[in-house]
Amino acid sequence: MVIASILKTKGNSVISLGPEGTVLDAARLLAEHRIGAALVRSLDGALLGILSERDIVRGMAAHGPGTTGLPATQFMTRDLVTVQPQTLVTEALSLMTQRRVRHLPVLDAGGGLIGMVSIGDLVKARIEAAEQETEELKHYVVSAG
């Protein structure tokens, strides 16, 4: 199974924040959409980074109560870990484990953003694939016996 199949089901909508957004803006955006990370994009749509709940917590630990008014760009992760639509789900899961990230922007061959997947999306897809394989094996055993 590849990332494109997950996006086909999930859709390619991506929640993002502009570079002028504050940490409080980002926290509200994450809470409103019940997500764990949002991309930070320039006014022309270029990817600048990703801001996760983890980034916000680390920023608050380092800067204290005044953190919420600071720019989200100050705490975002700039070194993006990305995948392409043809990336295998198993490869993406391995990448997430190695790089210790829970969200992967999906870029086309030209580097354009076409979606984002989370660890939850990938695990769900793996479970569904395993359940489907189990059902197919059960059907095979019953029909062969």
Answer whether 124's CB lies under 8 Å from 92's CB: no
> Which three-class secondary structure string do you get for 45-112?
CCEEEEEEHHHHHHHHHHHHHHHHHCEHHHCCECCCCCECCCCEHHHHHHHHHHHCCCEEEEECCCCC
Tokens of 25: 């803006």
Distance in angstroms (rounded) separating the CA atoms of residues 50 and 60: 17
> Which residue reads 């320039």 in tokens?
42
Domain count of the fold of the chain: 1
Span 106-124, pLDDT tens digits: 999 999 999 999 999 999 9
Tokens of 98: 């190695």
Q: What confidence score (pLDDT) does residue 145 get?
A: 65
Q: Percentage of the chain with pLDDT > 70?
A: 99
Structural domain boundaries enclosing 127: 3-144
115 bridge partner residues: 106
The CATH number of residue 19's host domain is 3.10.580.10
Q: What confidence score (pLDDT) does residue 57 get?
A: 95
Span 51-94, pLDDT tens digits: 999 999 999 999 998 999 999 999 999 999 999 999 999 999 99
Span 62-74, pLDDT tens digits: 999 899 999 999 9
